[in-house]
Structures are given as C-alpha cells and as structure tokens.
Chains A and B, each alone.
Chain A
Amino acid sequence: MKIVIINYGAGNIQSIKFAIQRLGYNAILSEDAEEIKAADKVIFPGVGEASNAMEKLKQTGLDKVIPTLKMPVLGICLGMQLMCNYCEEGNTQGLRIFECNVVKFKNQLKVPQIGWNQIENLKTDLFKGIKEKEYMYLVHSFYVPINKRAIATTNYGIKYTSAMHKSNFYGVQFHPEKSSKAGAQILKNFLEL
C-alpha cells in the first residue's frame, strides 16, 4: 500500500509518519502532484494558521489537486478545516470539498482548546472498534459547526463537528497521531478502508 503524507510545510508531519510506522506501515512525504495522485491513501495534515497554509498549497498547485483525488483522503486538524468552504481564520477560501464554514470559538471557555476531549455520535468505519466518548487530543481555536457531514461530535461550550465524511474524503479535528492507542486505531482504520 502506498501512503502519502502531503508535505507542504504546514505541520507536524514527522509525528504522523512515525504513528503510521508504529502501525507497521510506511508513509512517504511528498508535495509532488503525480506521486500524490498515485497513492492508495493520502493524509493531508496541517498545523498553524489557515491563510498561510492555503497560500503554501496554492504555491505548489496542490489546491487544485486535492479536491480531485479519488482514493481515501484524511485531513487532520487544519487539514480538515482547509477542506471546507471558508475559514474565518485569515479570511481564507478553502478547498470547498465540504460545504461548511470554519468559525472561531466565541464562548466563555479558553481559546485555543488544548487537551483531551471526548468524541461521540461516531459514524463510519473510521471509528470501527472505537467506543463512544473516547478521548482524543485536540488543539484548535476554530471549529466546524454541526452539519450533515459530521461523523463525530465534541462538546466545548457548544457541540461541534470533530470529524466529517463525504465520499472518499474524511476529516478529523483531533490528532489521531497523538491520541494514544485509540488514535492509533483510528489511523489504522483509515489505512484499512
């Protein structure tokens, strides 16, 4: 199986590579459109600020490539947010794979949300073997509101979408690569989709 982690200079890709390695698979890092298109599974990571990350995608032309991919694609954290229509952060137009917008937490709780929170209302095989209310590690200031693509929800002052799915595209707001054994299981589920 050929697993490609999109390497566009936005995020902790080393951790994802290591997490996949711990599952007994090997992933390559690439920003080459042809290599990405030829993969069996693609991971679209992202940490940092949305408009900068989107700018980097545009520089490499990957903003045009990612929405056309046909294999299972997993967006993680900012990767998931960039798959959406629009991000409030940096007034950023996203890849428009998911129809929803990404908005800032406006509640009385601390922002960013940093730490372990629960995921529930789990749907699809991405969560095979994962129990409701399992803990995942999250770090974010912006969130995707509840929408019809949600396959997991989390509560942080409000209930929001912590994972979503549309055809071959999956997105998770949490970091499976940093979420202990349950996170590893979710990554494994994705690789075995």
Chain B
Amino acid sequence: MLTKRIIPCLDIKNGRTVKGVNFVALRDAGDPVELAAIYANNGADELVFLDISATEEKRKTLIELVLDVAEKVNIPFTVGGGISSIEDVEILLNSGADKVSINSSAVKNPQLINDLAAKFGSQCVVVAIDAKQINGEWIVHLVGGKVPTNIKLFEWVKEVEKRGAGEILFTSMNHDGTKNGFANKALAYLSNLVNIPIIASGGAGTMQHFTDAFIHGKADAALAASVFHYKEIEIKDLKNELKRNGIPVRL
C-alpha cells in the first residue's frame, strides 16, 4: 500500500537552514546537509530544500549544496526557490535533485510547467502554491506569500494539473507558522479536485495535526519545518502515532 509521506522542509539562506514564522523573522536551525542526513536516518520519506536567498550569486552555492545532499542522502529530495527556466531545472536535476518546485515563476509564466513536464517528465515538477483565504476566497500569493494576485487557488490548481504538474505543494498563509494545524478543509477540497498528489504545508504544531491532515485533509504528504528542526516532534514518534491512527506509513 502506498504510504503517506512525511517531508521535513529546509529553508536555505546563505547555505544555512532557516525557518520563518509567517515567513518573516528568520531563525537559524543548522547545517542543511547534516540535518538532511539525520532526517533520512530518522525515517523522513523525502526532503524539500527551499532556497529563499535565490539570487544569481547564490545559485552556485545551491548547486554545491544539491551535490552535497545527493552524495550523502539516500532518500528523494526536491529543490525550490528562484527557479524560472529549463536551464535552472536541468542543472539541479543533473546535480542530483529528484524534483524541482516552482512557485512565482509558474504564475508569471504558466507555460514553464508544460515545458518542464515535456522535457523532464511530470514526476519531477512540483508546483508550490502559497495561498491566503481572504473574505472566504482562497487567493494565490507570490514572493513568499507577501504579494497577492487576482488568481483563485482552486482555478489555478486545476490549470497547473492540466499543464503537467506532478504534485502540488499547498501552503496556507493563514496557517503557516501558527502551529494550529493544517488547512484541512481547503486540502480536502484540493485533493478531490485534482488527480495528482497534494502535499500539505503550513501549520504543523502537534502530531495530531498530521493525523488530521491525512484523515480530514486527505493529503498525500505533509510538510513541516520548525517542529522537526527544533525536535518538538521526532519523525519516528510521529510515524508510530500515525500508524496507531490507522494511517499507512513507512516504518
């Protein structure tokens, strides 16, 4: 049986792991490669690296990091942040990344999704979407959730699927950093709306929140950062708890 995935997310700035609370006020949580290896050993199913400093001069640092992770870590990982062209993706995949995650660049140039899917296959194209619920309507946001667009989440998700995305990484800006649980209603709606896997992100605080995201949110995977980085939740404990709740996990 296909299992539900637990995905620690490592936000990377200047080669170090950081985690923003509501995407502002960054804290330093360690060396990404070391953390990645620990997570892989502790039962993480995948890893996501988001380069939030993704400027041109930082790009080389990121490639070095990707190579370093690929060399040491034996589980799949996704790289995101500042990816806007086929060339960007090609070098990341050639350096050992399994998937890439695109966000703002997909909104600005939706054709990029088609192009990446055609060249590299849908399986390595994750479209990340940051959305905020405003007056009952879920609206897509850009630049780490700071800039609103006029795009409706559910319409965008349908389009993204049609264009060839292999997975959706959905972050609720209303929940991110709050540790009050995932956006389960929106997640469940998304999961029924499209036929590609949905990764839940934003709001993890307790083990129960993960159970809820899988049962009520119908998520295929759940992503979190600080609860793992600061050892508030150990992945092994989390997976045992999920199993007790009848959720298929890899132990």
Contact = CB atoms under 8 A, between A and B. Distances in A.
Interface string A116-149: 1110000000000000000101011100000000
Interface stretch (A62-70, A160-168, A176-184): A176-184
Given A18-B71, A111-B195, A48 B5 contact: no
Interface stretch (B116-124, B145-153, B172-180): B116-124
Nearest to B199: A114
Contacts, number: 92
B221 interface: yes
Interface string B37-56: 00010000100000000000
B130 interface: no
A128 B22 CA distance: 48
Contact of B96 (A15, A109, A141, A175): A15
A111 B3 CA distance: 14
B79 to A, nearest CB: 12
A155 B94 CA distance: 31
A128 B211 CA distance: 35
Given A15-B98, A47-B121, A178 B76 contact: yes
Contacts of A48: 119-121, 123
Nearest to B77: A178
Interface residues on chain B, size class: 20 to 34
Contact of A183 (B74, B93, B97, B196): B74
Contacts of B220: 110, 114-115
B27 to A, nearest CB: 29
Given A14-B96, A15-B98, A47-B120, A115 B221 contact: yes
Contacts of B195: 110-111
Given A115-B5, A116-B5, A12 B74 contact: no
Interface string B184-200: 00000000000111000
Contact of B1 (A49, A117, A178, A183): A117
Given A112-B122, A115-B5, A180 B74 contact: yes
A110 B220 CA distance: 9
A111 B197 CA distance: 8
B75 interface: yes
A180 B40 contact: yes
Nearest to A21: B71
Contacts of B3: 115-117, 135
27 contacts: A12-B93, A12-B96, A12-B98, A14-B94, A15-B96, A48-B120, A49-B118, A110-B195, A112-B166, A112-B197, A113-B2, A114-B167, A114-B197, A115-B5, A115-B197, A115-B221, A116-B2, A116-B3, A116-B5, A116-B250, A118-B1, A135-B3, A135-B250, A139-B123, A141-B123, A175-B76, A183-B74
Given A12-B98, A52-B119, A141-B122, 14 more contacts: A14-B95, A14-B96, A110-B220, A111-B196, A112-B122, A112-B166, A114-B220, A115-B3, A115-B197, A117-B2, A135-B3, A178-B76, A179-B75, A180-B74
Interface of A: 12, 14-15, 18-19, 21-22, 47-49, 52, 109-118, 135, 137, 139-141, 155-156, 175, 177-181, 183-184
Interface of B: 1-5, 40, 45, 67, 70-71, 74-76, 93-98, 118-124, 166-167, 195-197, 220-221, 250
